[in-house]
Chain A
């Protein structure tokens, strides 16, 4: 695709487009150039199956999520007990429009976006330890340094996650973003208004997103968004992408990704089953359709695995407004009982063909400080024990022994709200029946995402549930990977978090054991030696496990994937998940078509 442009003089030849020392991505087989990948999404700019492939950051992890290695930066120096991190960007790295990507972009982003009080009135959320921010400094054109006020080991992990993905959440193409910034373009307000927004920073906030449907925004990933309508998006290859295969051919092989907007989930499944996408995840509940259609729709089914701690885990609101419910939910016996009451084996057999693991929601067992007892904690199916614990929690049976009564003598009912997720909702029905058998009545209510957010933000929910990522070594150390990240803590301990976050100004005070946990977490992030890192990591996660803030069901589920025939370099067996940045681990940039002309 690019050859003609080079010939026409519109594009420099490939040697000039690559950095001096491009990243070598090992491709299983050397591929052919050309072709289009087809995918689908629920809304323009929304997530789609292959979207993780668009990310490229300072560093990256391997496919097991255990090792950090350089990516767009070819070297990272660590000094002063993890206080100072010096990043060396690959010399000659360019944005997709040919402009060099340098340390200036990083500094501009930090100074004029993150620290801009109009865009971020609260200040940047990341790169903050305690009450102080890290310092960014530029050493030379291709080198920048981040200096933290105290030791902050997780910075390395962050650099390997999407948190430091260039052009996404970290660094912006300054030369291009300036037009939207009022400090650099006096017409920025007008530009924003032309596009329907009230003021420049509203529009700026939208444009900075890498998933934002702003076409032709300079990017460093393998593809960039080149066209967008309300029915489809098109991503085209980045001529300046910094990766090559082991023979020196610039990646990616495939020219284009075409993403169709399909609002309805069921239609998405139907399209996947009829070969409308090049690769897609199959729902287990619809698996029979996929297997039966494979021949007609010309695809193959591969058996991957989902690295999730739990297909579905439940979090009860420990900060419930109603004191009665708050007392019950905070009682560890209650949570333990509910965990014992779930018949995980039945869920596994019926929904996952016995292929999933019946364990508690926790970290990946491969993490260095892992304790196997965390997997089995209250994960055994034991109705007697559950009943015994519930009796101890003060929830007695009613006269007819049909359901339990709260301490006030009324029927004890909890409402679990959830939104359409990746897990099969049938699972919820099993859990509801399991809990009904020990006398705990729950109502499973499906809502849309917005409503659930709204309710949880108000602290009005009884319980909610969602799909739990299983984090690997590298991801586990990210500040928001613990059960204490701002997003998840909302679901079970909103007021304690507010207290912690606002230094006691709002929310209400958590019990001492939780305050100790805060200290422990802060100390963990300050750890400097491997031994300290492991010891504290173990302690932090041990507390979360013992407290059973999340009740897990089954995890590590089988994840069949449809792959169109003729698409090569797709892994036969892969474990995908948050810990390995989802689609980034697929190595989509090494995919190629056997006959690219056919799949244009």
Chain B
């Protein structure tokens, strides 16, 4: 921090907020981590060496190690090929590196085709091996699919589902909370009661019923949005409550009365005068809502209500890991759990940091 006492007093609100935010080291790190996640989500299949859907005969292959020494010689980074021995008598299958096959890791390699952001059709990957071989940095699953690629591609869905859901939450929360807080009285009372009622509804039966009501024929995209709506339905009450209480506090402020006297319409007052005042608080709430949505998506998948092949999300991958084989014998299948934990924690710490920074005048 390079601020000196005098510049602190003359800094703008946003500069103060940023300074306060930087103080919170954890939040800063989290911002970086989330940046990585969203970069992965953006680049998607480019970062994945293999096609996330290509099955192979090497089921449950352990993670491959990248070597640089082969027979004592220094080489460019490479992985060994795989060889499999299976014993039908004991149903044991072992997959080991085949030292006779050397697969150099090529950067910016040509590989499986993909559509990037529905616009560009390409086949370049950040790294990969020549066709016919495979590089499984995080091993394979029961169908011999590359876990690393699947983890990358699933990130795209999982980190964005939270964003879309939070947007819906934002709209609903502001709308209802805004009306409730601004008008007060009977309207407020009625809406308050309605929100309490919504909170009392048990989550899981509602999710199950709504999820089961999603028609079979819907494309995965539609299902994706339906899921975000279902998740958002749980979260909007929290935001409404916050918006309402803030509005109740500030609606009797002088500047609001002045605006009313000047003839501004109610919606204009709410939108342009009141809301920006506590935009920072809203942002904090929304940031803290995203991890709940991410976890909510995994819970929906647990109940079988989530996305279906060929779409893959963290929730879907975690269901593949939800068995003793994954936990005790093939632990690399649980890697998405680590991604979930890191992402959720990152959002939480970021929210904390934002909350601290949101009120820079507080000591």
Chain A interface (Cβ < 8 Å from any Cβ of B): 266, 269-270, 273, 284-289, 291-292, 303, 346, 349-350, 353-355, 415, 417, 424, 426, 429-430, 432-433, 443-447, 451, 455, 558, 560
Contact = CB atoms under 8 A, between A and B. Distances in A.
A447 B329 contact: no
B53 A415 contact: no
Nearest to B88: A353
Interface string B9-32: 000000000000000000000000
Contacts of B91: 284, 287-288, 291, 353, 558, 560
Interface string B294-338: 000000000010001100000000000011110011100000000
Contact of A289 (B57, B212, B308, B329): B329
B216 interface: yes
Interface in B217-250: 217
Interface of B: 53, 55, 57, 59-60, 86, 88-93, 142-144, 212, 216-217, 304, 308-309, 322-325, 328-330
Given A291-B92, A350-B144, A415-B216, A273 B324 contact: yes
28 contacts: A273-B324, A285-B142, A285-B325, A286-B323, A288-B60, A288-B91, A288-B92, A288-B93, A288-B329, A289-B324, A289-B325, A291-B90, A346-B57, A350-B57, A350-B143, A350-B144, A354-B88, A415-B217, A426-B143, A433-B53, A433-B55, A443-B308, A445-B216, A445-B308, A446-B304, A455-B216, A558-B88, A560-B91
Contacts of A560: 91
A331 B212 CA distance: 33
Given A269-B324, A292-B328, A350-B143, 18 more contacts: A266-B323, A270-B323, A288-B92, A288-B325, A289-B323, A289-B325, A289-B328, A353-B93, A354-B88, A415-B217, A426-B143, A429-B309, A432-B309, A433-B53, A443-B308, A444-B309, A558-B91, A560-B91
B308 A444 contact: yes
A199 to B, nearest CB: 29
A429 B312 CA distance: 13
A489 B191 CA distance: 53
Contacts of A346: 55, 57
Contacts of A432: 309
Contacts of A349: 57
A599 to B, nearest CB: 24
Given A266-B323, A270-B324, A426-B142, A350 B88 contact: no
A54 to B, nearest CB: 30
Contacts of A433: 53, 55
Q: In this complex, which of A289, A292, A424, A446 has the most chain B Cβ atoms within 10 angstroms of its Cβ?
A: A289
B264 to A, nearest CB: 52
Contacts of A291: 90-92
Contacts of B322: 266
Q: In this complex, which of B55, B93, B322, B324 has the most chain A Cβ atoms within 10 angstroms of its Cβ?
A: B324
A269 B88 CA distance: 21
Nearest to A355: B88
Contacts, number: 76
Contacts of A446: 304, 308
B90 A430 contact: no
Q: Which 9 A-B pairs give the minimum distances between C-beta atoms? A: A353-B88, A287-B91, A289-B324, A286-B325, A288-B329, A289-B325, A270-B324, A426-B143, A266-B323
Nearest to A447: B216
Nearest to A443: B308
A288 B91 CA distance: 7
A560 B325 CA distance: 16
A536 B199 CA distance: 66
Contacts of B142: 285, 424, 426
A445 B306 CA distance: 11
A266 B322 CA distance: 8
Contacts of B323: 266, 269-270, 286, 289
Contacts of B328: 289, 292
B55 A430 contact: yes
Contacts of A284: 91
Nearest to A429: B143
A353 B91 CA distance: 7
A4 B57 CA distance: 60
A354 B86 CA distance: 10
Nearest to B330: A288
Contacts of A451: 212
A160 B309 CA distance: 44
Contacts of B92: 288, 291
Contacts of B144: 350
B324 A429 contact: no
Contacts of B86: 353-354
A291 B91 CA distance: 8
Contacts of B304: 446
A286 B53 CA distance: 21
A403 B92 CA distance: 38
A429 B325 contact: no
A432 B144 CA distance: 15
A295 to B, nearest CB: 13
Nearest to A265: B323
Nearest to B322: A266
Nearest to A286: B325
Contacts of B330: 288
